[in-house]
Amino acid sequence: MNAANAPTAAPYTTIVGLEVHLQLQTRTKLFCGCSTAFGAPPNTQVCPVCLGLPGSLPVMNRAAFELAMKAALALDCTIASFTKWDRKNYFYPDLPKGYQISQFDLPFSSSGSLEVVDPKGTFAPRTVRIVRVHLEEDAGKSMHDDTAGRADSRIDLNRAGTPLCEIVTEPDLRSPQEARAWLNELKLLLEYLGVSDCNMQEGSLRVDANVNLHIPEASGRIAKTPIVEIKNMNSFRSVERALIYEVARQWEEWQQTRAELGTMPKQTRGWDDPAGVTRAQRHKEESSDYRYFPEPDLVPVTVSPQQLAAVRASMESPPKQLRQSLQSQWNISAYDADVLVNQGRDLVAYFETLAAQVGGGKVASNWMQQDVLRMLKERGGAIADFPVQPAGLADLIARVTAGTFDTSRAREIFAEMVANGRSAADVVGAMEIAAVGEDELRDLCRELLARNPKIVADVQGGKEQAVAGLIGQARKQNANVNPGEFRTMCLEMIRTMGR
């Protein structure tokens, strides 16, 4: 955290940069027509191209390039008018060609940024600069059974050749919390754009983090701890936990060793989630020598301003813009807009339809957050499959506005609508719900006051809250009683009695 906005700040600044790998939502691989569907039996989505068999030639998937451009444009990157691919050479059994087709010196995009804002204000808005976004192919998967000792490793090449966007940030994040929040914003953005499903469990989104500490010394000089790259993090939560752990570990190490950046090679540490620690990974000295050279099997790609405009025009509005437009169009708070937008595009569409039909953003937003989201969470599933669609909910809200029943009664009706897929009119009819007339309410009040002299005495003695006992009894007799009206009437009558 920045010392300026955190008085109890640590005696160092945490410096974090992220490297995100993102599988693009294409039907086929980057250079061949094999399916990219997740979960198929091993080695069933492979062909001579992605197996790296001699004589096969890659051909670029147009959809992959366009999705990659969308991602880069959404991150405010500059798209290069000329780009090419390169071979990154290394040997690993899940890389059948012995090289990965990637981008080295002429990536298709560079110099972007993405801001993250916390509506709760736990950190100041942070703009994270993007160094570059490039397009490359994924490797296959290797599985090793540690329990079997020196067993063979098994290789599944279904994933080999899946289109992958690599997004590299500048080290602009200043805390583990910021890193997690920024990743959430990135994920939301990419989901909104339909670039990737960002499913970390299935490996569609993978994150490595680089972290070190800047420590101001008495002389004014800033000491920097060696940069550590953390791998093996399987959720944004584990990114945050790993960074918290690693920051504390580096601070501890600094106090003991005073080792600074540049005195040792960059270290890679793996996050052990169950143990909650990072562990040093074996370092191969030559591993960074990838001997990149231009990929002779792919021709370069050029992008014209017209093509760029067309891709831009096809892009949906990003979350940041949507938050602002929800606030201004429907007059809801930044916090409310954030909650709604963070649920995804379909929920925002539901909200906007509802708000238009009930003629107000605030009431629609309240119902969305207090009722729809809660029910949706309990039931699971998508908003598109929710049994009560905006028109049905708008009808219910209109009845509350008209005073037919109060909000707590409406919640019961809503629960019934959701549980059995019925309309408000249907539920209201079946439950014989109707506003209770004033005479009827007065009779009920009179009857209950007569039956509860102790409560009356309590209220007269100044304990107004004792009247709540009467409300419970009243609702038992007639579920349609509006608690607010009933309470007012009871108190009024008790006052009159006391005179």
Partner 1 sequence: MTLSRQDVAKVGMLAKLALSDAELDTMTSELSKIVGFVSLLDELDTTSVEPLAHPLDTQNVFRDDVPAPSLSTAEALQSAPRHDGQYFLVPAVLGESGAA
Contact set with partner 1 (CB under 8 A): 21, 26-28, 32-35, 41-48, 51, 53, 59-65, 82, 84, 89-95, 100, 106, 136, 138-139, 142-144, 150-157, 164, 166, 206, 231-232, 270, 281-282, 286-287, 289, 291, 294, 296, 298-302
Q: Which two tokens stand for residue 455?
A: 């409560």
Minimum distance from residue 135 beta carbon to partner 1 (Å): 12
Least gap, CB of 178 to partner 1 (angstroms): 24
Which amino acid is it at 460? Q
DSSP per-residue codes, 205-271 = EEEEEEEEEEEE-TTSPEEEPPPEEEEEE-SHHHHHHHHHHHHHHHHHHHHHH---TTSSPPEEEEE
Q: How far is the CB of 57 from partner 1 (least distance, A)?
A: 10
- What minimum distance in Å lies between the beta carbon of 87 and partner 1? 13
CA angle in degrees (0–180, nearest 5) for 15-20-23: 175
Whichever of 93 and 381 has its CB closer to partner 1, that residue is 93
Measured CA distances, 183 to 48, 72, 200, 466 (Å): 36, 15, 12, 51
Taking the complex as a whole, the smallest distance from the CB of residue 479 to partner 1 amounts, in Å, to 57
Beta-carbon count within 10 A of 421 CB: 12
Buried b / exposed e along 313-342 (16+ C-beta atoms within 10 A): eeeeebbbebbeebbeebebeeebbbbbbe
Minimum CB–partner distance for residue 209 and partner 1 (Å): 15
Give the shortest CB-113-to-partner 1 separation in angstroms: 23
Residue whose CB is less far from partner 1, 53 or 222: 53
Q: With the C-alpha atoms ordered 434, 440, 446, 450, is the resulting torsion angle positive or negative?
A: negative
Dihedral through CA 378, CA 382, CA 387, CA 390, nearest 10?
Answer: 110
Q: Which is nearer to partner 1, 58 or 318 (CB)?
A: 58
Distances (CA, A) of 12 to 229, 259, 262, 316: 19, 15, 18, 41
Nearest to 203 by CA among 39, 51, 16, 382: 39
Residues 234, 237: Cα–Cα separation, whole Å: 8
Q: Which is nearer to partner 1, 130 or 394 (CB)?
A: 130
Number of C-alpha atoms within 13 angstroms, CB side, residue 98?
A: 3
Nearer to partner 1, 99 or 236 (CB): 99
Say which amino acid occupies 111.
S
Measured from the CB of residue 63, what is the shortest distance to partner 1 in angstroms? 4
Q: Which is nearer to partner 1, 289 or 385 (CB)?
A: 289
The Cα–Cα gap between 397 and 359 comes to: 10
Residue 295 CB, shortest distance to partner 1, in Å, is: 9
**Between 166 and 240, CB nearer to partner 1:** 166
Nearer Cβ to partner 1 (288/370): 288
- Residue whose CB is less far from partner 1, 25 or 175: 25
Q: Which residues contact 78 (CB under 8 A, 6 or more apart)?
A: 109, 110, 111, 112
